[in-house]
Every structure is written in structure tokens, then in C-alpha cells.
Amino acid sequence: MKKLINGVSDVVTESLDGFARAHADIVKVSHDPDFVSRADGPVQGKVGLVSGGGSGHEPLHAGFVGKGMLDAAVPGPVFTSPTPMPIVEATKAADGGAGVLHIVKNYTGDVLNFETAADLVAAEGITVRSVVTNDDVAVQDSLYTAGRRGVAGTVLVEKLAGAAADRGDDLDGVTAIAERVNANVRSMGLALRAGTVPHAGEPGFDLAEDEVEFGVGIHGEPGRERIKLESADQLTYRLMAAVLDDLPFASGDSVLLFVNGMGGTPLSELYIVFRRAAEILDERGITLGRSLVGSLVTSLEMQGASITVLRLDDELTALWDAPVNTAALRWGV
């Protein structure tokens, strides 16, 4: 195992400290327990947004703390859910008096620990709502979830709900936007090579040089099937067919197309995937309304990509275009 780390037990803490120094104008980092919050927060009178999960998916979630997205994020150990207490403290740090929305990926540990934290802060007078993201079409159930996994679509939920909170929507309104996005977004990914969890010291799974894990999860969980390596266009078609047929998306829809890298995929390859995905939208009469390309929900250095498609309407498009200022997404400011 070759990694730029000092000690396995220090990876999350030292990474957070570097993140805080690099983006001190946007975020602040707290330890004991670990969480990230807005440097200018909490914003009084605004609904607070909190998300989190295991580390190793950077920039998810800490990279999306800032104006127009999250007010706080809770990084657990690598690929391991954070415990309730840092979620409690992050929720307090995000509370500006208008309530807090928890955006939780559908992994069993995340769901249970966020539920426990919500109960604890409710006892202190903070109103919390929760939206569980489950955009992954690869499986109905996995080793890690009851139901579908929450993956790259979570970024879109955070962005659009964050914009709704910034425009002044109340807690019920922000929650409704998050639920609407989650209901209209679908994702699926594939892996060419696994990442290596530092404390494991070896790749999470083995793939032959001519094999692809199709429908892989962001922790390396198995997907629909293991297939032989195909061209980028053929693999993109497989992903798009699975995603578009699931909602289903229809001719005349306007969508946001998000091609996400898993951590070890060059941007040039992501654009090759995006190119074919956009062509498939054209062929189906679906309008490419908005786009996003980049490694935003990663799995350490996994080599692979995922495709996420969100059905847009005028309101969701306006919320996407609204200003955002985070370490990982920034426009309009």
C-alpha cells in the first residue's frame, strides 16, 4: 500500500486540519467530536442543512459546506458511519433557529445514527427533519442498506435544498424540495479497479484486467454483475439505459446530467463518458438542461465512474443556478 499518510489512525484528523487551513474563509473544523461547519454560521433565521457519512468520499460531504449548500458536515472514519454525538454537535452548529434538515445517505449505520442524533437534539428544543437519499438503481437491497443506496444524487439534493434554504423557505419547504429531488434523481456506477482502505492495506475487491464491476457501490459493494471490459461508449450505454429506464425518463423531459469520477479516473475519461451520455439523451428526445462533471463522490482511489440524471422543472433549474460558495462547488458569487 502506497499512500500519502502518516499513520492510519490519523488520516481523518489530519485531512480535516488541512481542509480547514485551505478553506478557512468558508469552513471551520471542530474536534472531539469531529465535524465541519460554516465559518460564518450558524445563519440566524435560515434552515440549517447537515449531512455526513464515512470519510473516503471526498469532497462529499465537507466539501459542500458553505453558502448555498450545507451548514455542517460530519465525517466518520473511512467508510464508517459517524456516531451520534458528532451529528448532535454539528446539528447544534447549524441551527439558526429555523430548524435543521438532515440529508442522510441510505446506509444502515448512517440512518440509525442520524435518527438517534435527531432524537437527542429534539430534547434540547431543535426541530429536525430528515431526508434519506436512495438514488442508486443498481440494487434494491445490499449488504449495507435496507433498500437502495444513496450515492452521487446526494450532491444534487444538498445543492437544491441548500438553495431553497438560502432563499428563505421554511423547514417544511426545504424538506419538500429535498424529497422532490430525491424522487426524481437516479444514479448508477461502475468500477474498473478498487480503492484501498488505509486500515485494510489492500484493495476492497479484485478485478481482472478484462473485468468491470457493473453497478458497484461507493464503498466497493458488489453491483448487478461482473462483466467483461467494453468500450467507453458501450459501458456508458449500459449505465444510461439502467438509469433512464428506472424513473422512467421520457421524451420532452429536461434533465441535469452528472458524470462523477470515483477518485481514480482522469477528467478526460469522464468527458468521454459525458459525451456519449449526452448523445443518448438526444436520441431519446430528452433535453440536456444542466450538466456537472467531476470527481465529487469518490471511493478513495477507485477507478470508475457513475452517471446521475435528475429530472428538472423550472423551479429546480432556478435552484441549481442559485449562488453557491463551497470548497467543491462555486458559482454565482
What whole-number distance in Å separates Cα of residue 163 and Cα of residue 298? 23
Q: What is the pLDDT of residue 320?
A: 98
Q: What is the pLDDT of residue 143?
A: 61
C-alpha cell at 3: 499512500
What whole-number distance in Å separates Cα of residue 305 and Cα of residue 297? 10
Who wins on pLDDT, 222 or 323? 323
Q: What DSSP state is assigned to residue 8?
A: G
Q: What is the pLDDT of residue 1?
A: 81
Instruction: Specify which residues 102 forms β-bridges with.
Output: 50, 130
Mind listing the pLDDT tens digit for each residue in 283-315?
A: 999 999 999 999 999 999 999 999 999 999 999
Q: Please report which confidence band the pLDDT of residue 139 belongs to, taking 50, 70 and 90 as the band edges.
A: confident
E strands of 79-199, at which residues? 100-105, 128-133, 185-193
DSSP string, 73-88: EEEEEETSPPPHHHHH
**pLDDT > 90 fraction of the chain, expressed in percent and rounded:** 90
Q: What is the pLDDT of residue 145?
A: 64
Residue 57 scores a pLDDT above 80: yes
Mean pLDDT of 269-294: 98
Which residue has 489530519 as its cell numbers? 14
Mean pLDDT of 169-186: 98
Q: What is the pLDDT of residue 213?
A: 94
Least trusted range by pLDDT, from 26-35, 205-214, 270-279, 320-329: 205-214
Residue 141 scores a pLDDT above 80: no
Quick one: which of 139, 158, 148 has its CA closest to 111?
148
Neighbours of 196 (CB within 10 A): 18
pTM: 0.96
C-alpha cell at 293: 462533471
Mind listing the pLDDT tens digit for each residue in 182-237?
A: 999 999 999 999 988 888 888 888 899 999 999 998 988 877 889 999 999 999 99
Kindly report the backbone phi and psi dihedral angles of residue 67, in degrees, each rounded to the nearest multiple of 5, phi listed first. Answer: -55, 130
Name, in order, each residue with C-beta under 8 angstroms of 261's C-beta and a sequence gap of 6 or more.
Answer: 267, 269, 270, 294, 295, 296, 298, 304, 305
Mean pLDDT of 114-123: 98
What whole-number distance in Å separates Cα of residue 5 and Cα of residue 88? 29
- What burial class does residue 218 get, using C-beta atoms within 10 Å of its C-beta: 0-12 exposed, 13-18 middle, 19+ buried? buried
Mind listing the pLDDT tens digit for each residue in 16-45?
A: 999 999 999 999 999 999 999 999 999 999
What whole-number distance in Å separates Cα of residue 231 and Cα of residue 224? 19
- The H-or-E segment that residue 29 falls in is strand 27-30
- In this structure, the dihedral spanned by the alpha carbons of residues 81, 82, 88 and 94, taken in order and rounded to 10 degrees, is -90
Q: What is the pLDDT of residue 104?
A: 98
State the catalytic residues.
57, 219
Distance between start and end Cα atoms, the chain: 41
Mind listing the pLDDT tens digit for each residue in 128-138?
A: 999 999 999 99
